[in-house]
Each structure stands twice: as structure tokens, then as C-alpha cells.
Copies of this chain bind each other. A is one copy, B any other.
């Protein structure tokens, strides 16, 4: 049993696409390059995947799983909720810095016009946010689930923006260590204002 030939080819194509995106970036991904790397014909790609978009989604799915694992690990290494949130932010930046092209593909990819992102993939994105919910609910026990979800999305988005714009080099490319320091300071400042405690 183990693995059908069909699945083997699918994995080879997936691996080739992942390597291409990792090394050259999503924008440089070509169906012909991927199938050449995978050692199969051009048409076989469309046998294994519906189209290029779905192949990219499969790569992004793998990246999201790795990213999620990194975040879980970072969060688990801390005890207090504030430390967890700070560790999550830094782990997010670490992952983006060390996997710039794969990470960028998560957010740069767009489906063909009119085609929605499949539900299962949206849910994989939402999983990331769920990591934020735990520590955040400890800090804000009064918030109901809806508010908590919104808040988590907002906090995640803010950290994401800081990492994304710095990695895109939109406003002059930045030394990752400086970004890390800024991110640290920013999250700390936010957390200082987040709860009613007034620790100096």
C-alpha cells in the first residue's frame, strides 16, 4: 500500500514548487519550471492539482503548519500570558525573517478573479490567531468570545503589519535585530496599556 504512484508524483510536484517559491519567490513560480524540476510533463501538474493556484495553496498549507508549530513552541516556552504574547510576536518575526519567500507567499498570493479562497485554507490561517486567544483571554477575563476573537485578530494583524512592511522593505529595508527590538518595545507598550494593572 504505502503510497500510490499518483501521490508520489503529487508530492514531487509539491516539493518542487515549494523549493522554487523558497528560493526564487512566488512571483517567479512557473508551471514549466516546477514540472521540469519534478521530472514530469507539463500536463501532469494539472492531473495532480486543479491549477497553479491550488498548488500554491498546498505549499502555503505546509508553510502555515510549520509556522503554527513555531508559534505553539514559542508560546509553550513561556508561562505568563504577557510573556507568551511577546514570544509569539518574536517567533512570528523570526519565522518571516528565516523563510522570507515562503512566508510572503502566504499573504501575497491572490486567487484568480472571482474564485474565493477555499474554506479549509482560510481556517488554516485562522488557526494562527487562535494561538493569540489563549494568553489574551487570561489578560482580559471579562471579554466574551466574540470580542476576544476580534481582539486577537487585531493584535495579530498589528504584529503582522510590522513584520510584513519591514520584510517588504517598503520604507527602507531594516536590520532584523532592530525590527525585533522595535517589535518587542511595541508589544510591551501595548501590553502595558492592555490591562488595568499599573505596574511601572
Chain A interface (Cβ < 8 Å from any Cβ of B)? 25, 27-28, 107-108, 110, 113, 122, 125-126, 129, 150-151, 153-162, 164-166, 168, 170-172, 174, 178, 182-183, 185-186, 188-194, 198
Q: Are B182 and A193 in contact (CB under 8 A)?
A: no
Residues of B within 8 A of A171 (CB): 122, 125-126, 129, 153
- Point out the residues of chain B lying under 8 angstroms from A164, CB to CB: 157, 161, 164
Assembled-state Cα–Cα distance A186/B178 (Å) = 23
Can you offer 5 A-B residue contacts whose CB atoms are under 8 A? A122-B170, A125-B170, A126-B171, A157-B161, A157-B166
Q: In the complex, which residue of chain B has the Cβ closest to the Cβ of A126?
A: B171
Report B-chain residues with C-beta under 8 Å of the C-beta of A125.
170-171
Count of identical protomers in the assembly: 2
Most B CB contacts (10 A, CB to CB) among A108, A150, A159, A162 go to A162
Contacts of A172 in B (CB 8 A): 122, 126
**Which of chain B's residues have a CB closer than 8 A to the CB of A162?**
154, 157-158, 161
- Contact among B161, B186, B191 with A160 in the assembled complex (CB-CB below 8 Å): B161
Return A57 CB to nearest CB of chain B, in Å.
Answer: 13
A179 to B67, CA, bound (A): 26
Residues of the B chain whose Cβ atoms lie less than 8 Å from the Cβ of A189: 190, 193-194
